[in-house]
Structure 1
Amino acid sequence: MNIDINIINKIARQAGSEILKFYDEDRDIEVSRKSDDSPLTKADMASHRAIVSGLEKEYPEIPVLSEESEIPDYSVRKNWNRYFLIDPLDGTKEFIKKNGEFTVNIALIDENEPVLGVVYIPAEEVLYFADAKEGSFKQVGDGPVQKIEHARYSKDKPARIMVSRSHRGNDTKERLAGMGIEVGEEIPSGSSLKICFVAEGKADLYPRFGPTMEWDTAAADAVYRYSGKNGPVKSPLKYNKEDLHNPEFIIGL
C-alpha cells in the first residue's frame, strides 16, 4: 500500500493544533515526570492520541510505535517490515519554556530505514516533509511548497554546526577537531529542527554525542536523507533495533 504524504501532513497539523491548545494558555504548563525523569505534559498525550487515531483510521494494517505508547517487545517488533514511528511532541523542554522550538514527528520505517518523514513546527506553522521518491520539501503556513537541498560538507572549510539548546556538550569542538573538522559557527536549536536545518543547508553538521532515541530522529532523518542535491544521501542511523537508543552520530558527513 502506498502512503499519501499529504494525509500524513494533515495528521501532523492536526496534532500541532492539539498542542497549541495547551501552549497558548496564559497559565504555566503542567509537567509530570516519566520513569526516566524526562518531562511529560498533557500536550504530549493530546498529540499522541491525535496522531495514533489518524494513522489507525487511514492505515489500520500498519503498526504504530510512539514515544508515549507502550513499547512492544523486540520479539514482536523484529517482524515489522513497515511501521510508523512517531514522537508526538519532540522538544518538550522547549515547549515548557515556550520558545517555539518543538515539533511533531511522524516517520514511516521500511526495512529499518525511514522512507517518509514529516516534521511540523506548530508554533510557526512550518512543515518539513520528505519521501524517498520525491525528495524533501518545506512549507510555511499556506504558502508555496519549496524543495529543499543541501550540499555535503567538506572538511576544507570551517563547519556550521547545530547544537542542542537544552543538551549542550562541552567537548563537541574537541571531538570534531580530532576528526579534522574545524567549527566555525554554533547554531543552537531545539528538537528535530537541528537535522532539518542541515537538510535545507542552514548548517553543515549536527553532531550528537549524547543520548537520543529512534523516535527523536526518524522523521527529520528522512528529510535529511532525501535532501541531497545529487540524490539520496546516507545516514548513520538505523531503526527498529532491539535497543531503541541511537548511537552517537554526526548528520551531514
Structure 2
Amino acid sequence: MNLGGIIYLNKTSIGIFSGALLFLFLYMTSYKNDLNNVKLNRSNKINMHKLLNIAIKAAENGGREVIQSKDNINIQKKGLTKEGLIDSVTTADFLSHCAMMRTLEHFYPSLKIVSEEAKTRCHKNQYVDLSLPISVDENESVEFIEEDVTVWIDPLDATYEYTEKLYKYVTVMVCVAVKGKPIIGVIHKPFDKSTSWAWVNTSKSKDLYGQVHNKDEDILKIIISRSHKGQIEEVLHKNFNNKIQLVIAAGAGYKALEVAKGNVDAYLHITAIKKWDICAGNAIINALGGKMTTKYNEEIDYSNGDNVKIENGLIATMRNHNLFLEKL
C-alpha cells in the first residue's frame, strides 16, 4: 500500500498559504504586544494614596533605625563643608537608608528613588517591618504614570547634631515629586514620635491644621542654619535694619516645619543645599499655601537625581515671599 504521495502547489495556493502564515504571525505579534501593553499599563500606574501611606511607613522605618543606633554609632567623615565643618555620616544614616529603600521597593520595585546615601550596600538580613497600616484613606484613586514620579529620601537630616545628641533637630524625610514638582512631603521626627505630612491640593496631617502665623511685621522671625550660616547674619541685619529676630537651628526638615507651623516668618539659606534636604519641606509648604524658591525666585526641579545641589540659596515662607526676595 502506498500511503505516500506528492502534493503539487500552484502559485495561487502558495500565495494563499503564505498570506495565511503572515496573517497568523501579525495576529500573534499584535496579541503579544496588546498583552504587554496591558501589563505595562497596569504596572506603570502609581496610586498616590497608597504611595503616601508607604512614604509614611518608610520614614517611620528609617526613624526606628535612627533611634536604635543612637548609642552605638560609627561616625565617618565625608569631607568638609564650604564653611569648614566636618560633613559626617553615621551607621544610622546607612541603616535608615536601607530600611527606607526596602520599604519603598517592596511595594514599588521599579520606582525612581533618589537618596542621600544611595551608594550604601544594604544587608538582606536587616529586619524591616513591611506591614502597611492605613494612615491615609485609600478609597479615592489618584494615579500617575510611574515614569513621571520621583521619590526623594533623606534617611537622617541633621547628622552632625545627631552625633551631638541634639535630637530635636533630627528628622527622616520622604518626598514625592511628579514631573519635577513636589506634591507629597513627609517629615518624621523619630525622637518626638511624630510625623507631619501634606499632599498638595488634597490633605494634610492633623498637626498642620489651624496654624497661626505671626502678624507682627515690625519684628520678623527668621530661622537660619546652625552649621551652614555663611554670611547670612550680616546680610539680614543690614538689609532689615536689625528689625529681625534670628532663630538658629539645625536640619532643613526641622526649619521647614517651623515655617509651615507658623513659628517663624521665613527660612533663609544662602549657601549650597541638597534637594533631598528640602524636597519634603517644599511639598508641605506648598500644600499649605506657602512658597519655597531659590533667592532668585526660581522654583526647584525634582525630576531626577542628575543635579542634586541648589547653589542659589533658599527662601521658604508662608506669606510675604516677595519681601524676602527683595531683601536677600
**Interval of TM-score (by shorter of Structure 1 and Structure 2):** 0.7 to 0.9
Name the amino acid aligned to 1:51: M
Q: How far does residue 35 in structure 1 lie from its aligned partner after superposition?
A: 5.4
CA contact (8 A) 1:150 1:198 kept: no
- 2-side partners of 1:251 and 1:67: how far apart? 22
Cα deviations by residue, 1:120-172 (Å, 9 ceiling, x for unpaired): 111111211111132432xxxxxxx3333667888943211112222234433
Q: Assess if the C-alpha contact under 8 Å between 1:160 and 1:186 holds in 2.
A: yes
Alignment of 1:43-62 (within 5 A): 43-62=92-111
1:1-253 matched pairs, under 5 angstroms: 1-3=46-48, 4=50, 5-23=52-70, 25=71, 29-34=73-78, 38-70=87-119, 81-100=148-167, 101-137=169-205, 145-148=206-209, 156-175=217-236, 177-178=238-239, 183-191=243-251, 192-228=253-289, 233-236=290-293, 237-238=299-300, 239-240=302-303, 242-246=306-310, 247-252=312-317, 253=321
Q: Which amino acid aligns with 2:292?
A: S
Q: TM-score normalised to the size of structure 2? A: 0.64
Distance of 2:224 and 2:209 partners within structure 1: 21
| Letter of the 2:309 counterpart | H
Mark the structure with the bigger radius of gyration: 2
- Aligned identity (percent) is 25
Seen in structure 2, the aligned counterparts of structure 1 residues 234 and 167 have a Cα distance that, compared at 3 Å, is closer
Per mean C-alpha deviation after superposition, the further-off stretch among 8-17 and 34-43 is 34-43
More helix, by proportion: 2
Whichever residue aligns with residue 76 of structure 2, its letter is S
Structure 1 spans left out of the alignment, 5+ residues: 72-78, 138-144
Return the structure number with greater relative CO, CA threshold 8 A, min gap 6: 1
> Residues 162-213 of structure 1, C-alpha deviation per residue, up to 9 Å, x if partnerless?
12222234433524753x5854322222211101110010110001011210
Conserved 8 A contact 2:173-2:186? yes
Tell me the distance in 2 between the aligned counterparts of 1:35 and 1:125: 31
State the one-letter code of the partner of 2:67. L
Q: Are the structure 2 counterparts of residues 67 and 168 from structure 1 closer, same or farther at C-alpha, using a change threshold of 3 Å?
A: same
Equivalent AA in structure 2 for residue 107 of structure 1: C
- After alignment, is 152-161 or 198-207 more displaced? 152-161
Distance 2:292 2:216 in 1: 18
SS in 1 for 2:54: helix
Aligned length: 231
Summarize the Cα distance change of 1:136–1:240 in structure 2 as closer, same or farther, 3 Å threshold.
same
Distance 2:316 2:242 in 1: 16
> TM-score, normalising length from structure 1?
0.81
Question: Structure 1 pair 150/169, CA: closer, same or farther in 2 (3 Å)?
Answer: farther
Q: Distance in 2 between matches of 1:225 and 1:181?
A: 29
What is the alpha-carbon root mean square deviation over aligned residues?
Answer: 2.6
Gaps of 5+ in 2: 1-45, 81-85, 121-145, 294-298, 322-328
1:215 Cα offset (Å):
0.4
Query: What is the rounded CA distance, in whole Å, between the counterparts of 2:109 and 2:237 in structure 1?
Result: 44
SS at structure 2 position matched to 1:48: helix
Q: For structure 1, which segment, 108-117 or 44-53, has the greater mean C-alpha deviation from structure 2 after superposition?
A: 108-117
- Return the letter of the residue paired with 2:111: I
